[in-house]
Every structure is written in structure tokens, then in C-alpha cells.
Structure 1
Amino acid sequence: MRDIDEPSGAEQAPDESASPRRSGISRRALVFGGVAVGGLAALGGGALVYRQIRRSAPPEGTWVKLSPIVPVPDASPRAPSPALEEPGEDTTVAVWAHADDDIIFANPHLAGIIGSGATLRTVFVTAGDAGRGLGYAQQREAGIRAAYDEMRGSTQPWNTSQLTLRSGARVTRFVPADDPRLSITVLRLPDGNLSGKGFPTTGEAGLTQLINGTVPALAPIDDGPTLDARRLSETIAELIHAGRPDRITTNIPHESAFARGDHPDHSCVGSLVRAVAPVVGIAPEAVTYYIGYPSQHEPINVEGEALDEKVDVYATYAAQDPVVTCDSAAACLAQPGFGQWLRRSYGKAEGELRLT
């Protein structure tokens, strides 16, 4: 993501490879521009502050101390949830902070799951709204559906439903009309901002404040029922259990050394999943945690055709997000932060987290 004013070449991040493999993008990654963003001070999802986007160096999230996650009562066997999904083959439940964390940090693994015919149940905990409201969050959700369409090779419509969970949370679920092995479920909690302090329009509160107890509850931006810390933990546990997973993927948790400099929302979600997975019968070795912003410090490990495909998927998403402006593979890879992240993907097992 970058400022609405196109940065000069001197402001762009240095190219990390001799040249991008492809200068074009997928058929759905259309050129768009001239989007008015008003006085917006910060962005969600990738959630980069505008001033930082214009710098040549990638942004880093603020490190905020996080309290231990409120434990979830052991409820085995758990009662069936209204969110219960049909059993699938080799099922992954993926739980992310923002709609784009998966395509930026977990690809090409994500595309491999979809391309293999395995089952993927995705959950996005925050709206990634950047304080801009529900309309912007829905544009980002449309972008993720388009990105999944790119990976699965279909443009058939997605069915939408609202579900009230046993935890009391209300979620929105999207399922492709022609491919029920995939689903996307969104909680739409407010974006916590790169600073971890939230946005004025959503009460300057996010996951960090909820977990730390400085706010009693969070209100989803779509006016769903408020969630306190325990109810949020129950909701995450319920959605994971409802997906009937063989494995889980998520953001790197706060207690990992790899979380230093990551977006605070990423750390919160990773820690939530790590805390509740055992309650729903998922062994620690079945969970993979993907490094977020700090992956920029790791060696490049996505190149060639895999990089081309990853950038196409990202650009397809970007065509629906009015804050992101990259109309070619070269432009996407030149974005400070995103160019570095797209060239990398690092999943860590429990034993590799470097717990602190």
C-alpha cells in the first residue's frame, strides 16, 4: 500500500531481484486509480501509516506487551455449532487477523491447498477497516474472494449467510456456489492499527486493548453483538471446531521472537489460536504460524513461477482495494513492504517459534 500520490523512483523500495519475471497481471487485476481517500491517516490489513508507505524502508509494527489469553473452558465433546461445516478432505482451518494476511504471508502454500482439491476454511478476525467503516471492509472482502477465485480458476458467485454462534457472536460467511470445500468467515472486529492503538472512529480500541483488559468488549463494525475477551476466545474455538480441521494455519503469535515488529493484530490472533487450539483437540504440531512483517528480514524464498503466481493473486486482490495501487507485477513488487513480503513466505511449527 502507498500514499495516493505516486511516489518517485527515489522513494520506492529497491528491487530485490534483477527484474520481475512478468510485467502484466491477471485478467481481473485491472488498472484503477484516482481513488479519493480523504484525510485517512492509516491503513488496515497491511495497515501501514501513509507516511511510512512513502519511505523506502518497509514499515514495522509497534511492540505492545500482551496479557495471557483468557483461557477457554474445556468443553469436550463440544456441542454442534450453527457454523458447523461439511467434512472435507485434508481440511485446513486458517485464522488470520486481516483479509490479505493469507495471500501475502502464506502463499504459495495457500494456493497449493486450493489447487490440490483439499478443503480450506478461512476466518478473518478483524475487518481490516482502518477506521474507514464497513464499506471499505467489504471492498477488501470482495478482493479476497476475487483472489480465491484466481487461485481456484472460477468466477462463479459466492453465497452469503449470517450465523449466530453458540458463543453469541454473529459472523458472516461466504461460500462459492460451485465449490463448498472453500469458505470465508468474517468477524469484522475493529482494526487495531499499526500502532496497536486502534482508530478514533472505532473508539481507539482493538484486539490488543481487549486482551489486555483496557476495554471491556469490542463491537464489530457491522453492529454485531459485542465480544469480551472470553467470548472472543470461545468464538475462535467454536469456528475452528466447526471447520473440522486436520491442521491450522495462522499468524505468528505474540510470544514468538518472530513477532517483534509485526502488526499487533497479527500477534493477537496468533496467540488466540495457539491458546484455544488444544481445547478443540488440535495438537501443537498440527498448527503452522506464518511470519508477518518481520519476514522481510529473512532470505528470499519465493521466486520464478511461484512468485509470478503469487503476485497475480495479490494484484487481483488489490484491484478491489481502493487504497492499494499496483497495476502491474513490477509495481506490486516495488511497493515498500509488500515487495519484500511477496518474495518471502515462512511458516513455523510450534518447536520453531523461538518462544520468549
Structure 2
Amino acid sequence: MSDIDEPSRGHGPIEGGVGDPGAPRPGVSRRALVFGGLAVGGLAALGGGALIYRNIRRSAGPEGTWVNLNPIVPVPNAVPRASSPAAEAPGDDTTVAVWAHADDDIIFANPHLAELIGSGATLRTVFVTAGDAGRGLAYAQQREAGIRAAYDAMRGSAAPWDTTRITLRSGARVTRFVPSDDPRLSITVLRLPDGNLSAKGFPNTGDAGLTQLINGTVPTLAPIDDGPIVDATRLSDTIAELIHAGGPDHITTNIPHESAFARGDHPDHSCVGSLVRAVAPVAGVAPEAVTYYIGYPSQHEPVNVAGAPLDGKVGVYETYAAHDPVVTCEDASACLAQPGFGQWLRRSYAKTEAELRLA
């Protein structure tokens, strides 16, 4: 990492009503901020959804590059059959949560996530990308280990997780983790390549991600674990199949691209939110049963997580971060001092379909 402390600026104000269009973006030292695969000031990329901090001078979090996204086409035209190899046992008050990266849920959807797990409800989590930042499968697996540890912290058990590889009816292959003592929870990973904060992907994974696949500028994506390639049809079919296989009463996911709240978010977040919004009705879930969580732009909203809920949320994040070498923080104070993460941990904003402020 460079030792040059040259200030750089963010990507500008959030549009669509979040943020102050007239407020200048605070400078962040070039040495200080590397996030989501984009090194501010031109440094090398280090982490999908990750920050390295050195000599922090400002506290502003990053903003993702805004690019147009085509409508999700094609959308499956029939409800997936219940005979999917990924089908899970019915549970009580089941939520299927579909996220771009392993940590989106604990950062943006907590404390609701911990409350859901603590209530005894069923939770089926899906992570679409590997969050690998072009650094390979080993780094992605560190992040996956971190998110399992975070779930252990929320459920109060350290029992081992069972691992299964599943080839879906769609032709995609996923890896599923299930706690050996708690089958009401599961984590399923598709491990598609991280699309980068710039929406341009990484050289090690073909400079391609979800944005390029949805926009048709690349025909396929190759999962970083050498699973079968995924085209746009297979991707939509896979998301629909995994949602239906979980038997959800509710869905939670990232804010979709077509929402005003997506301006400045990570492009992968926007893609996943739009995918889920498009296929949820096909998977048998009504629009009013889907909840969308604001990502990066939540930093522009008022603080709404404090006291004991904040302590719990930060503790879960710290547990995750201990496994991710890019964001490891030595204690709660250090976690809260991280630009971006510190703001997001103090906030959590859920939006219904009617509240998305669609463009």
C-alpha cells in the first residue's frame, strides 16, 4: 500500500433525496481507504466490501459507481418445482435472505437479523457473489467462515456446520452450510465473482461481474470455485429456485437499482436487489412480503441504532471481522472508528416495495 497521503474525493452526493446535494465530500487520504475493490486515488484493489485503514483523517464512507442497469431479462415464467435438490424442510416464520456479499446482512440488516434468529424463526441465507475482490477462493472462504462465526454469536452456539455441495435444477452449483445443532438456519453461497465498487470487476476474474452479465456486455460468469458457468437465464432461474426452495414467508435483500436509495450503493447490491425484486413473484412471494435494506447510502440517514442494540450489532461485526484480514478491528471502538462501517453499524433502514421511491 502506498504511503502517499494525498486527499481524494468521493463520487459526489447521493441523488434521489438521500444526502445533501450541496455538501462537499470530505477528503480521505489515499493511504487510508481501500474499499469494495476500489482503491480511492488509484491504489490496488483489496476487498469486496472491505476497508483497510491507515492514518484515517476523515470519516466519510465510500460510494459506489452509478451505472445504468438493464431490466432483469429473462425472468422465469413458472414457479420452480418443489423437487429442487436445494429444497429445505419447512420452518416457522421463514425468511429467505438474499445478499450480494457475506457481511451485507450483519452490517445493513442488524439488529433485525439477530432478533429474527433469537426469536426461533427459520432463516435461509443466500450470498450471490463471493466478495472475493479478485483475491481468490481462499479469501472468499475466510469471509464465509467469518459470517458463520457471526451467526454462531447471534444464535449462542459454536457447534460445527455441515457442508454440502448441491447442483440445482437450474444447472448452477452452490455450497450450503447448516449448523449441526440448528437446521432452521442455513447459508448458501453461489460464489460468483465480485463486481467491484467500480462495477468493472477484477482482472483475475475477467473484469466482469453481475452488472456486465445483466447488461449483456459479457455472456456468462464463472464462479470462482470452478462451478458451472452462469448466464443471465441461469442466474434468474437460480435465484428463483433458491428462494422457492426455502419456502419463505418473507424475503430480505439489498435495495434494488431502480430505487432512489440505490444511488451510491455498491453495484453488486443493486444487482442482487433487482434480481430478487424481479423473481420473487415467480418464486411465489408477493411484493409486500419483501423487505429491502439500504446499503452504503444509509450513512446519509439519521443514526437509528444505539445503546444495547448497537453494542450487540458491533459485537457480531467484530466476530465476523476477526476472520476477514482486510477489516479486522481489535475492539468495538476500533470497529466503530472505521469509515463507512462505523456509519453503517449505527444505522439500519428497511424499505417495503411501497417505500422504494422507484425511479
Global fold match (TM > 0.5): yes
* Alpha-carbon RMSD: 2.0
1:296 to 273, 283, 299: 299
Q: Which residue of 1 aligns with 2:108?
A: 105
User: What do residues 206-257 of structure 1 show as CA deviations (whole Å, max 9, x unaligned)?
Assistant: 0000000000000000000000011000000000000000000000000000
- 1:220 aligns to what SS in structure 2? coil
> Is the alpha carbon distance of 1:187 and 1:53 closer, same or farther for their aligned partners in structure 2, counting shifts above 3 Å?
farther
Q: Which residue of 2 aligns with 1:155?
A: 158
Task: Write out aligned runs for 1:305-316 (5 A).
Answer: 305-316=308-319
Q: Which residue of 1 aligns with 2:337?
A: 334
How much does 1:72 deviate?
2.2
Q: Distance in 1 between matches of 2:73 and 2:319?
A: 37
Task: Write out aligned runs for 1:92-171 (5 A).
Answer: 92-171=95-174
Q: Which residue of 2 aligns with 1:90?
A: 93
- 2:52–2:326: 8 Å Cα contact kept in structure 1? no
How much does 1:42 deviate?
2.0
**Structure showing greater relative contact order (alpha-carbon pairs closer than 8 Å, 6 or more residues apart):** 1
Q: Which residue of 2 aligns with 1:78?
A: 81
TM-score if structure 2 supplies the norm length? 0.86
1:191 to 189, 194, 200: 194
Q: Distance in 1 between matches of 2:103 and 2:88?
A: 23
One-letter identity of the residue aligned with 1:255 = E
Identity of aligned residues (%): 84
> Is the alpha carbon distance of 1:323 and 1:77 closer, same or farther for their aligned partners in structure 2, counting shifts above 3 Å?
closer
One-letter identity of the residue aligned with 2:203 = P
How much does 1:55 deviate?
5.0
Q: Distance in 2 between matches of 1:45 and 1:54?
A: 22
How much does 1:56 deviate?
3.1
Q: Which residue of 2 aligns with 1:41?
A: 44
> Is the alpha carbon distance of 1:4 and 1:248 closer, same or farther for their aligned partners in structure 2, counting shifts above 3 Å?
farther
- 2:211 aligns to what SS in structure 1? helix
Pair 1:253-2:256 in alignment: yes
Q: Which residue of 1 aligns with 2:11?
A: none
User: What do residues 276-324 of structure 1 show as CA deviations (whole Å, max 9, x unaligned)?
Assistant: 0000111000000000000000000000000000000000000000111
Q: Distance in 2 between matches of 1:111 and 1:199?
A: 33
2:224 to 221, 225, 248: 221
Q: Distance in 2 between matches of 1:338 and 1:110?
A: 17
- Which segments of 5 or more consecutive residues in structure 2 lack a partner in the other structure? 6-38
Q: Which residue of 2 aligns with 1:24?
A: none
User: What do residues 60-85 of structure 1 show as CA deviations (whole Å, max 9, x unaligned)?
Assistant: 00001000001323223625100000
- 2:175–2:189: 8 Å Cα contact kept in structure 1? yes
> Is the alpha carbon distance of 1:52 and 1:173 closer, same or farther for their aligned partners in structure 2, counting shifts above 3 Å?
farther
Give the count of matched residue pairs: 322
Q: Distance in 1 between matches of 2:342 and 2:158?
A: 27
Q: Which residue of 2 aligns with 1:266?
A: 269
Q: Distance in 1 between matches of 2:252 and 2:55?
A: 29
Q: Distance in 1 between matches of 2:316 and 2:138?
A: 22
- 2:50–2:326: 8 Å Cα contact kept in structure 1? no
- 1:185 aligns to what SS in structure 2? strand
Bigger drift between 221-230 and 42-51 goes to 42-51
Q: Which residue of 1 aligns with 2:27?
A: none
Q: Distance in 2 between matches of 1:208 and 1:65?
A: 9
> Is the alpha carbon distance of 1:44 and 1:236 closer, same or farther for their aligned partners in structure 2, counting shifts above 3 Å?
farther
